[in-house]
Amino acid sequence: MLSQSTPQEIEPPEDSTVVGTGKGGVGKSTVAAHLAGQSAADGHRTLLVCVTGQDDDDLGIKRHGRGTHPPGAPTIDGEGLYRAIHDRTPLQPIREVRPNLDVLPGGPKVAELANLLMLRMMQEGPAVVLSLARALAPIAPLYDRIVFDSAPESDSLEQLVLASARTLIVPTRSDVSSINGMERISRNFMAVKQQVNPHLQMAGAFLYGSNRSATLMHASVRRDVRQTLGDSTPILDTIVGYREVPARNARKKGLLFSEYAELLPQSATPADVKAGRATDADIVPDSIVPLAKEMRELNQEITEFCRRAA
């Protein structure tokens, strides 16, 4: 979307962070939901904006009916986000999905945004990249912190979120295609910073969902990250382990890892399942405890790195 001419600038909210990289399935949505959830649990008024074509519903908004929807047309499935940008009106989030946490959910309608923006760009020029920043500006003062989840499949959607935030935090997995996926966010980061959002800063990168004891491999990934994002890129120490079962179960239940861990004392046992008193879904795996702990540590470190960068 961006070209040579410079559109008018909109200063992003003071504490606003994009979780983004150009590769799918590396943990962006999981980390964005937990970062926002932790911030809200710490007492900060927080907004999560999911500029993603698929709604993973980590917070149980759709499947479990959490939060208070704004009156009028639907907000889920990316409809609210699309409508605000299409109609040039302020964002109207779903309120109190958790205490202190409001959310603009993503979903299929967000994918249509890319076409809308392309069409508008022909008439209005590169200023369309500020469409989300403009829709956010009237409500941004209501929040202490704003977290953006982003889509890996589209340059224009990546540019849209980068134009609205002050910091970028980049998750990656250890495989080569995840490392390559950082090249796209890096390109879009530079274009947005140079042309529409000079406030944008790289807060850092982190390895997500990895074997925590594979330290040699971690060192090699850090070298790859710096080669892709630049030598001065801060790299976080916390590594959240690969723990598929509790991560999958928590998302299915629309619970954050810390919330799911609280169910452990009431967990069913395999004997209960065998006796027909419970189902597999009622067993809470012990591995949720380290997963919740590692995620809490990661969120703290991300917050620290974002503050430093901003």
Ligand X SMILES: Nc1ncnc2c1ncn2[C@@H]1O[C@H](COP(=O)(O)OP(=O)(O)OP(=O)(O)O)[C@@H](O)[C@H]1O
Structure token digits, residue 43: 């007492």
Determine if 34 is a binding residue for ligand X (CB under 6 A): no
Considering only 16, 17, 21, 29, the residue that binds Mg ion (CB under 5 A) is: 29
Question: How far from 223 is each of 124, 168, 217, CA to CA, in Å?
Answer: 41, 19, 10
Determine if 56 is a binding residue for ligand X (CB under 6 A): yes
Report in angstroms how near the CB of residue 251 gets to Mg ion at its nearest: 11
Query: Which residue's structure tokens are 């189902």?
Result: 279
Residue 235, strand partner residues: 205
Question: How far from 98 is each of 29, 60, 136, 146, 180, CA to CA, in Å?
Answer: 17, 10, 20, 15, 35
Structure token digits, residue 101: 């946490």
- Tell me the three-class secondary structure of 132-151, residue by residue: HHHHHCCCHHHCCEEEEEEC
Determine if 27 is a binding residue for ligand X (CB under 6 A): yes
Considering only 20, 28, 134, 202, the residue that binds ligand X (CB under 6 A) is: 28
Structure token digits, residue 221: 């990934």
- The item of ligand X, Mg ion, none sharing an interface with residue 247, based on CB under 5 to 8 Å by kind, is ligand X
Residue 76, strand partner residues: none
Considering only 251, 254, 284, 306, the residue that binds ligand X (CB under 6 A) is: 251
Query: Which residue's structure tokens are 């630049």?
Result: 230
As a whole number of angstroms, the distance between CA 145 and CA 32 comes to: 12
As a whole number of angstroms, the distance between CA 106 and CA 151 comes to: 9
Determine if 286 is a binding residue for ligand X (CB under 6 A): no
Report in angstroms how near the CB of residue 126 gets to ligand X at its nearest: 26
As a whole number of angstroms, the distance between CA 265 and CA 28 comes to: 29
Q: Which amino acid is at 238?
A: T
Report in angstroms how near the CB of residue 27 gets to Mg ion at its nearest: 8
Query: Binding mask 32-71 vs Mg ion (x if CB under 5 A, - otherwise)?
Result: --------------------x-------------------
Determine if 30 is a binding residue for Mg ion (CB under 5 A): no
Determine if 21 is a binding residue for Mg ion (CB under 5 A): no
As a whole number of angstroms, the distance between CA 285 and CA 250 comes to: 10
Report in angstroms how near the CB of residue 30 gets to Mg ion at its nearest: 8
- The item of ligand X, Mg ion, none sharing an interface with residue 83, based on CB under 5 to 8 Å by kind, is none
Query: Binding mask 231-250 vs ligand X (x if CB under 6 A, - otherwise)?
Result: ---------x-xxx--xx--
Determine if 101 is a binding residue for ligand X (CB under 6 A): no
Stretch that binds ligand X, among 9-17, 18-26, 221-229, 230-238 (CB under 6 A): 18-26
What's the Rg (C-alpha) of the chain?
19
Determine if 24 is a binding residue for ligand X (CB under 6 A): yes
Footprint of ligand X on 143-172 (CB under 6 A): 152
Residues of this chain that bind Mg ion (CB under 5 A) = 28-29, 52
Contact residues toward ligand X (CB under 6 A) are: 24-30, 52, 56, 152, 209, 240, 242-244, 247-248, 251, 291
